[in-house]
Structure 1
Amino acid sequence: MSPTNGTAKAAGGYRGTDRLILGIVLAVVTFWLFAQTTLNVAPAMRTELRISDGMSNLAVSITALFSGIFIVVAGGLADRLGRVKLTYAGLALSMAGSALIALSPAGTAAFLMAGRVIQGMSAACIMPATLALMKACFEGKDRQRALSYWSIGSWGGSGLCALFGGLVASTLGWRWIFWMSVLVAVASFLLLRGTPESRVESTERRPFDWAGLAAFIVAMVALNVVIGRGSDLGWMSPAAVGLAVLFLVAGVIFLKVETSSANSFVDLRLFDNRTYTGATLSNFLLNGAAGTLLVALSLVQQEAGLSSLQSGLMTTGYLVAILSTIRVGEKLLQRWGPRKPMLLGCWITTAGILLTTSTFLLARTYIATAFVGFTLFGIGLGLYATPSTDAALSNVPQDKAGSASGIYKMASSLGAAFGVALSAAIFTGLGRSEGLVPMAGIFMGRTDNIEVRFAAGMALMFNAFMVLVAILAIVMTVPKREGAPPARS
């Protein structure tokens, strides 16, 4: 098959084009923009579909959960079957999942949950396959530029999701968000048509690690259900305790299988590289901070009376900041190496999240403060994104690119899933308590919603704590470098 769309064969692969980059970015956007809009429009969906808070919270987090569960498997399949093929498969799943959600009937969560699971499977295919394509088709500074645009689709999509979701939900209705997702997936498919296939050429046939995958699925689903629905089930109820025990047993089995099998689906040997470990762990924790969006936007909708559009406007600074600083992070990477921009981004992110914790302020003051906080949040993530991704992918061999990308993106997805689920659990659980709120006297304005505002503040503080742990992980694992080595041409 000859290269098309202006691609030219290069050493070790094909040199990519701007059309390829655009097609990949749109593929990534189908998840990070359209699937993640539920962070802002969940209240509207919950009301129209008549589902409980617990079921709604589970629907928000389950997409990222299933993405995280299957993303490593999909990364390995991308290496063997072809990265372009897996991207196409992901786009097809995205269309199917979005259509199911758009068609969800009122009074049942079945269509919604099925669609969200399929969206997670879609992301599992798209994320590692497109990252591996970037590594295979670009070199040196071209690869760093391509990864910046990939990050714009990923992190930028997460920044746009609240504003986009609020705008569409307030004008056309939330169902149109998912019909638009179908159209974007079609556009991505058309742009990627003719892209030469990229795969690892190997005649080795190894049995698949079904036992490890099964144990991993059981452990992750059990944990997510406990976190997401623990308050509904009762934290000490037989169901919740049983699920917690199931998680522990499945987790132990998973670790035993993965450390003893030569064909483990999670290649734990990749974590022998400290830089890859630090980039992946910090990526997990920063994506976990996505709970900041869910909690802060839910608070101003529930207690300040803002619409989904008005609350989405609070994140405008976040969107502008993340889009405008991603390429700044790329330049800092080229000048300093990955460690300094990763740390700088994390510290700024922490400062931004801490501003959103000031739920004791009057509503108008809080909205303005949160706007500044979200802007700093976006600046921090923008500076962090490309250096982290490049640090992860630059430290693995080419034949492991798909698997390594899969694990790195598994960290993103599982981080988002558990971060959102834990934030929602803290917010919902503490908000229902009727005990005395510490330092209740500092809360300004209304006094009938102090418990909810306190609960939001604690949930947001949890997100700041996760980023502080990410800083510690980077300090301990990513080496100091005064300057990055010259990029290969």
Structure 2
Amino acid sequence: MTHPHPAPATAPHTAAPPAGSRPWAALALLCVAQFMLVLDVTVVNVALPSMAADLDLGRTALTWVVTTYTLCFGGLMLLGGRLADVLGARRTLLAGLALFTAASLLTGLASGPEALLAGRTAQGVAAALLSPAALAIVTTTFHGRDRHRALGVWSAIGGAGAAIGVLLGGVLTDGPGWEWIFYVNVPIGAVLLLALPAVVPARAPRPARLDIPGALLVTAGTGSLIYGLVAAGDTGWSGPRTLVPVAAAAVAYGAFAAVERAQRAPLIDLAVLRRRPVVAGSCLMLVATALLISLFFLGSVFLQEVRGYSALRTGVLFLPVAVATGLGAHLGARFVGLWGARPTAAVGLTLAGLGTALLTTAGPGGNAWTGVAPGMSLAALGLGSVFVAATTTALGFIAHEEAGVASGVVNTFHEVGGSIGVAVVSTVAAAGIDGGTEGGFTAAFTVCAVTAAVSAAATFVLVPRGKPQLTGGPHVH
């Protein structure tokens, strides 16, 4: 999932890298660390049926395996960026990397759903520490043309992680077992922990306040919302297990807004959320991520549970889908410059709607390369361009000094969007996931198609006219 962002405002500033530092070696190692984080968003999808069989996971637990990671990653990312200021970017980076490595080991060793979800939670918290600290180091180590080159390499990690994640998940699950999608992070993390201190210089932290109440409230509110959405698949949309968590989420969001207004150093400047471009870009990002991660989730379970595909065969079939996402982002960047963000987003969401509409006709038989892959690839192609349109909308129509805050908001919507999308489609497809039949999946793909179509129409109201001008370099999660 590739989309450009400027460096967040929380990145500490230095005039030049210290003498003796090795910036390109540092970039290579930081990209490997970021690659692990991106990989863990998609690598689990192909392994879900094997996890379910070994650990006796139901639909609800399977949903949380995906959503817990992205929820904690997105919900705590702004706090992680602030911690990089307070504690120092290198110290925060190494702490996040150590936690991610240990959490990956514990997740692979999980013998039940509780341990598995605890491990995924710890992975998400670690990612929220590691990713913004790594980006802060990249943006303060490089300058001028070198910075653009470095951020271009950083951006490529997103598409590569998505593409390799689906294939690696299939290879490892069909080979040594699903546990190895987590174990593979351990030796890599250990090597990085030894190598990074030698090439990443320590820098003085910048004094800043921590808005821990704000971070906890927004994460708890989103978690409560997702819990209610997942519970709807079991108790219905009007049941207390659905309505109570959703109401609690509304209360938490209200309390978050109150806390942010009272804070001298808020996690999010609420004034930025009143900017039409930021709202439009964040909504586009939420929808695009929700649709794409939902397609990975639904497609993986559908192919293995309904079609009877192996994990490896499923991973191979997803490769053109991941490639189409990257191609869509590349084309989207061109079209935004030619046409503007509004038509690019509208066309992209229309393609996503057409692709998911094709998937509603996929049944238990037939050739998946002609009956499933084309629809998913077409949808992914369109959504790749929407990622670019979303980012350029949020960041290209606002003042330069607000770009860091807007970038943080869009990043948060990006990660949380996947959690919400999977929660909704798993609820709609509950009967199909639990019973291995195509009926529930057809309904879920229909919801995706309708959401894409409605969002395409809404772009003409939400997205400003004109061609946005980005205020910074690219960034990817």
- TM-score, structure 2 length as denominator? 0.81
Letter in 2 for 1:169: T
Q: What's 1:213 paired with?
A: 215
Cα-to-partner distance string for 1:237-273 (whole Å, 9 max, x where unaligned): 4443332332222222222332344332222233355
Q: What's 2:48 paired with?
A: 42
| Whole-Å separation in 2 of the counterparts to 1:218 and 1:314 | 36
Q: What's 2:116 paired with?
A: 112
Letter in 2 for 1:427: A
Aligned-residue offset at 1:141: 5.9
Aligned-residue offset at 1:288: 0.9
Letter in 2 for 1:50: D
Question: In the superposition, relative to structure 1, how do residues 242 and 392 fare at CA in structure 2: closer, same or farther (>3 Å)?
Answer: closer
Q: How does 1:118-129 map to 2 (within 5 A)?
A: 118-129=122-133
Letter in 1 for 2:125: M
Q: What's 1:454 paired with?
A: 442
| Whole-Å separation in 2 of the counterparts to 1:19 and 1:168 | 29
Q: Is the 1:63–1:117 contact (alpha carbons within 8 Å) kept by the matching residues of 2?
A: yes
- Partner of 1:315: helix, strand, or coil? helix
Letter in 2 for 1:300: L
Letter in 1 for 2:440: V
Q: What's 2:8 paired with?
A: none
Q: What's 2:98 paired with?
A: 92
Q: How does 1:77-226 map to 2 (within 5 A)?
A: 77-105=83-111, 108-138=112-142, 142-189=146-193, 192-193=196-197, 194-197=199-202, 201-202=206-207, 206=209, 208-226=210-228
Aligned-residue offset at 1:134: 4.1
- Partner of 1:33: helix, strand, or coil? helix
Q: How does 1:41-80 map to 2 (within 5 A)?
A: 41-80=47-86
Q: Is the 1:163–1:315 contact (alpha carbons within 8 Å) kept by the matching residues of 2?
A: yes
| Whole-Å separation in 2 of the counterparts to 1:138 and 1:391 | 26
Q: Is the 1:432–1:451 contact (alpha carbons within 8 Å) kept by the matching residues of 2?
A: no
Letter in 1 for 2:443: A
Q: Which runs of 5+ in 1 are unaligned?
A: 1-9, 434-447
| Whole-Å separation in 1 of the counterparts to 2:338 and 2:205 | 32
Cα-to-partner distance string for 1:96-121 (whole Å, 9 max, x where unaligned): 2111111011xx21210110101110
Aligned-residue offset at 1:220: 1.7
Please point out which of 413, 419, 422 is paired with 1:420: 422
Question: In the superposition, relative to structure 1, how do residues 325 and 238 fare at CA in structure 2: closer, same or farther (>3 Å)?
Answer: closer
Aligned-residue offset at 1:301: 1.4
Q: Is the 1:356–1:370 contact (alpha carbons within 8 Å) kept by the matching residues of 2?
A: yes
Question: In the superposition, relative to structure 1, how do residues 172 and 143 fare at CA in structure 2: closer, same or farther (>3 Å)?
Answer: same
Question: In the superposition, relative to structure 1, how do residues 389 and 200 fare at CA in structure 2: closer, same or farther (>3 Å)?
Answer: farther
| Whole-Å separation in 2 of the counterparts to 1:117 and 1:232 | 23
Cα-to-partner distance string for 1:458-489 (whole Å, 9 max, x where unaligned): 2442563576378457x624x523988999xx
Q: Is the 2:70–2:416 contact (alpha carbons within 8 Å) kept by the matching residues of 1?
A: yes
Q: Is the 2:353–2:450 contact (alpha carbons within 8 Å) kept by the matching residues of 1?
A: no
Q: How many pairs align?
A: 455
| Whole-Å separation in 1 of the counterparts to 2:469 and 2:246 | 46
| Whole-Å separation in 1 of the counterparts to 2:357 and 2:131 | 30
Q: How does 1:258-407 map to 2 (within 5 A)?
A: 258-289=260-291, 290-323=293-326, 345-359=348-362, 363-385=365-387, 389=391, 401=404, 404-407=406-409
Q: Is the 1:127–1:406 contact (alpha carbons within 8 Å) kept by the matching residues of 2?
A: no
Q: Is the 1:34–1:181 contact (alpha carbons within 8 Å) kept by the matching residues of 2?
A: no
- Partner of 1:364: helix, strand, or coil? coil
Identity over the aligned pairs, expressed in percent? 24
Q: What's 2:9 paired with?
A: none
Aligned-residue offset at 1:170: 0.6
- Partner of 2:200: helix, strand, or coil? coil
Aligned-residue offset at 1:185: 2.8
Q: Is the 2:68–2:419 contact (alpha carbons within 8 Å) kept by the matching residues of 1?
A: yes
Question: In the superposition, relative to structure 1, how do residues 380 and 19 fare at CA in structure 2: closer, same or farther (>3 Å)?
Answer: farther
Cα-to-partner distance string for 1:46-73 (whole Å, 9 max, x where unaligned): 1101122212212221111111221111
Q: Is the 2:60–2:230 contact (alpha carbons within 8 Å) kept by the matching residues of 1?
A: yes
Q: How does 1:432-471 map to 2 (within 5 A)?
A: 449=437, 451-461=439-449, 464-465=452-453, 468=456, 471=459
